[in-house]
A and B are shown apart, each in its own frame.
Chain A
Amino acid sequence: EIVMTQSPATLSVSPGERATLSCRASQSVSSNLAWYQQKPGQPPRLLIYGASTRATGIPARFSGSGSGTEFTLTISSLQSEDFAVYYCQQYNNWPPHTFGQGTKLEIK
C-alpha cells in the first residue's frame, strides 16, 4: 500500500499571502495525484487532478506541481474562503486509494 504523508499538519497564513502545502508518496505515483479541499460540515471538493490540472470551476490561484513522490499545492493569494483542510490522494495503485492525513490551513 502506498502511504501518503502531508506536511505540515497545520499551516498558519495571513490572507493575501501565499500558502504551500506538501504531499509525499512512499513510492512513485507518477502524476496520478489529486488534491481536495474540505470545509467544516461539507464533503471534500476536487481541486486538482493529474498533479497539476485544475478541476472545473477552481480559481487560478490554486496550482499543483510535482511528480513521482513529491507534490505541492500552492495557493497564491489566500482568500478567506480558502481556509480549510486539504487532502492529497494517489490513484496510481488501486486498490486501495490512499489519502494523506490532511493539512489544516488556518488564518494567522
Chain B
Amino acid sequence: EVYLVESGGGLVQPGRSLRLSCAASGFTLDDYAMHWVRQAPGKGLEWVSGISWNSGSIGYADSVKGRFTISRDNAKNSLYLQMNSLRVEDTALYYCAKDIAVTPNWYFDLWGRGTLVTVSS
C-alpha cells in the first residue's frame, strides 16, 4: 500500500520556525516530484512549494517565497519543509502530495492526511 505521512506541525509563535517532514511508504520517492499544499481552517487549497525528483527544479508560492525552503532526502524516502519567520496567516493544515512525474509541473495523485500548523502568540 502506498501512503504519505506528515509530521512536525504544532503551535508556534509568530516569527519562529518549524520544520515539517513527510515520509513516503510503498513507493520510491526519487521516482517522483513532490509538493506541499496547505489549507487554512475552513478554506480552500493553496499550493505552497514543489520540488523535482533530484531537487534540480524548485518552486514556491509568492506568499512563502524567501521564508520557506523545500528539500528532500531520497535515501530516507522523505520530504521536508523548513518554515521560517512564520506568520499568523501561515496557520493551516499542511499536506504532502505526490506528483505523477519527476518534474513538479503536473498534478497530484497521492496525498497525506496533513499536519496542522498553528501560528499564534
Bound Cα distance A81, B106 (Å): 27
Q: If A43-B95, A43-B114 touch, does A99 touch B109 (CB 8 Å cutoff)?
A: no
Q: How many residues of A contact B (CB 8 A)?
A: 23
Structural contact, B109 and A55, CB atoms closer than 8 A = yes
Q: How many residues of B contact A (CB 8 A)?
A: 22
In the complex, which residues 57-107 of chain B have their Cβ closer than 8 Å to any Cβ of chain A? Answer: 59-62, 95, 100, 104-107
Evaluate contact between B109 and A46: CB separation under 8 angstroms. yes
* A87 contacts chain B at the CB level, 8 A cutoff: yes
Could you tell me the distance in whole angstroms from the C-beta of A97 to the nearest C-beta in chain B? 4
Chain B residue at minimum C-beta to C-beta distance from A50: B107
- Decide yes or no whether B108 CB sits under 8 A from chain A: yes
Q: Is B11 interfacial (CB 8 A cutoff)? A: no
Given A43-B112, A43-B113, A45-B111, CB of A99 within 8 Å of CB of B104: no
- From 1 to 40 in chain A, residues with beta carbon under 8 angstroms from any chain B beta carbon are 1, 34, 36, 38
State the Cβ distance, A48 to closest chain B Cβ, in Å: 9
Report the Cα distance A46→B61, complex, angstroms: 21
Q: Quick one: given A43-B95, A43-B114, are A96 and B61 in contact (CB under 8 Å)?
A: yes
Contact A44 B61 (CB under 8 A): no
Q: Pick the residue among A42, A43, A46, A98 that contacts B47 (CB under 8 A).
A: A98
Report the separation of the CA atoms of residues A76 and B14 in the bound assembly, to the nearest whole angstrom.
47
**Are B45 and A46 touching (Cβ within 8 A)?**
no
Q: Please pick, from B50, B95, B112, the residue contacting A95 in the complex, using a CB distance under 8 A.
A: B50
Minimum distance in angstroms from B40 CB to a CB of chain A: 12
CA distance A55 to B110 in the complex (A): 11
The distance in angstroms between the C-alpha atoms of A45 and B44, with both chains bound, is 14
Instruction: List, in ascending order, chain A residues with CB within 8 A of B106's CB.
Output: 91
**In the bound complex, do residue A94 and residue B59 qualify as a contact, i.e. CB atoms below 8 Å apart?**
yes
CB contacts (< 8 Å) of A43 on chain B: these are 95, 111-114
Determine if B111 and A49 form an interchain contact, defined as CB atoms under 8 angstroms apart: no
Point out the residues of chain B lying under 8 angstroms from A101, CB to CB. Answer: 44
**A89 adjacent to chain B (CB < 8 Å):** yes
8 residue pairs bridging A and B, Cβ less than 8 Å apart: A89-B45, A89-B108, A91-B105, A91-B107, A94-B105, A97-B35, A99-B46, A99-B47
